[in-house]
C-alpha cells in the first residue's frame, strides 16, 4: 500500500515539475514592433478556470465485487490551469451503488467522492490526451438486505485515483476518462480487504 501511495505522490510531483519547466521555457516572443500582437477574441487558451459535468461509472473488482454492484452517478468537476498544460482539479458528486445478490443477501456500496489532484495535457491543451492523479476522500455507505430486513453503515476512507483521458477538441470539449481507483488505501480496519475499482466517465467542460 505504501508503494501505491508513493507512486501517486511521484506522479503528482512529476506533473508539477514538468509544468513548471514548460512555463519557464515557453515565454511568447514579442512582435516586431516590441509589443505583443493584439487578440480581439478570448479563446479557451486564455481561460484558466474550468467547470465540468461528468457521468461516472465505476466497476468494482477484486473483493469489492463480492459486496456491491457497479456504481453510477454525476460528478461536478472544477479545474484551474496554472500553465496551459497543467490543471489542478477537484471532483465531487454522488455514486449510487447497484445491489449485488448473493444467496438470500442483497448488498450495495454507495459513495460520495471528494477527489483532488492534477492532470497534464500532452498535446494542444486543454484538448487531446492527458494523464491524471488524484488523492481521494470516499464517504461510503454500505447497505445489506435479507429476509425483509435491512441494515446500513457508513465509513470514510482515503484513497487514490490514477487515470488517462482525452478531450476531443477545444471547440467540442467532451472529456473522456478511464481510471483505476483504490478506495481505501488509508484508514482500513483490521482484516479489511482492499476496495478497488476501474471507472470510465464522459463529461462536458465550460471555460472561464
pLDDT band at 187 (very low <50, low <70, confident <90, very high): very high
Domain carrying residue 64: 2-18+50-207
Q: Does residue 33 lie within any of the structural domains? A: no
Given this model, what pLDDT does residue 102 score? 84
Task: List the CATH number of the domain containing 82.
Answer: 2.40.160.20
Grid cell in block for residue 136: 481521494
Q: How many structural domains compose the chain?
A: 1
Q: Cα separations (Å) of 74 from 2, 50, 114, 200?
A: 30, 17, 12, 12
Is the residue at 189 inside a domain? yes
Q: Calculate what percentage of the chain has a pLDDT beyond 70.
A: 79
Q: Looking at the predicted structure, is the pLDDT value of residue 29 above 70?
A: no
Answer whether residue 151 is part of any domain. yes
Q: Calculate the CA 49 to chain-centre distance.
A: 16
Q: How confident is the model at residue 111 (pLDDT cuts 50, 70, 90)?
A: very high
Q: What is the pLDDT of residues 87-107, one digit of tens each?
A: 999 999 999 999 999 888 999
User: Is residue 29 situated within a structural domain?
Assistant: no
Which pLDDT score, from 0 to 100, does residue 193 have?
Answer: 94
Q: Which of 40-44, 51-55, 122-126, 170-174 has the lowest mean pLDDT?
A: 40-44
Mean pLDDT of the chain: 86
- Supply the pLDDT for residue 23: 43
Residue 10: pLDDT band with limits 50, 70, 90:
very low
The three-state (H, E, C) secondary structure of the chain, written as one string: CHHHHHHHHHHHHHHHHHHHHHHHHCCCCCCCCCCCCCCCCCCHHHCCEEEEEEEEEEEEEHHHHHCCCCEEEEEEEEEEEEECCEEEEEEEECEEECCEEECCEEEEEEEEEEEEEEEEECCCCCCEEEEEEEEEEEEEEEEEEECCEEEEEEEEEEEEEEEEEEECCCCCCEEEEEEEEEEEEECCCCCCCCCEEEEEEEEEEEEC
103 lies in some domain: yes
58 domain-assigned:
yes
25 assigned to some structural domain: no
Confidence at 46, pLDDT banded by 50, 70, 90: confident
Is the Cβ–Cβ distance between 53 and 40 less than 8 Å?
no
Q: How far is CA 193 from the centre of its chain?
A: 23
The answer to whether residue 40 is domain-embedded is no
Amino acid at each position: 500500500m505504501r508503494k501505491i501511495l508513493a507512486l501517486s505522490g511521484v506522479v503528482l510531483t512529476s506533473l508539477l515539475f514538468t509544468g513548471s519547466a514548460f512555463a519557464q521555457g515557453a515565454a511568447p516572443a514579442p512582435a516586431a514592433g516590441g509589443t505583443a500582437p493584439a487578440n480581439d477574441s478570448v479563446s479557451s487558451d486564455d481561460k484558466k478556470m474550468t467547470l465540468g459535468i461528468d457521468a461516472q461509472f465505476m466497476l468494482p473488482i477484486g473483493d469489492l465485487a463480492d459486496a456491491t454492484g457497479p456504481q453510477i452517478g454525476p460528478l461536478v468537476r472544477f479545474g484551474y490551469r496554472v500553465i496551459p498544460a497543467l490543471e489542478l482539479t477537484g471532483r465531487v458528486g454522488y455514486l449510487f451503488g447497484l445491489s449485488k445478490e448473493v444467496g438470500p443477501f442483497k448488498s450495495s456500496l454507495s459513495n460520495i467522492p471528494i477527489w483532488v489532484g492534477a492532470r497534464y495535457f500532452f498535446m494542444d491543451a486543454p484538448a487531446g490526451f492527458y494523464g491524471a492523479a488524484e488523492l481521494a476522500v470516499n464517504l461510503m455507505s454500505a447497505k445489506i438486505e435479507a429476509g425483509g430486513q435491512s441494515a446500513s453503515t457508513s465509513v470514510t476512507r482515503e484513497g487514490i485515483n490514477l487515470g488517462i483521458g482525452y478531450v476531443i477538441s477545444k471547440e467540442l470539449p467532451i472529456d473522456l476518462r478511464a481510471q483505476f481507483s483504490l478506495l481505501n488505501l488509508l484508514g482500513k480496519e483490521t482484516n479489511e480487504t482492499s476496495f478497488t475499482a476501474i471507472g470510465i466517465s464522459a463529461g462536458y467542460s465550460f471555460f472561464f
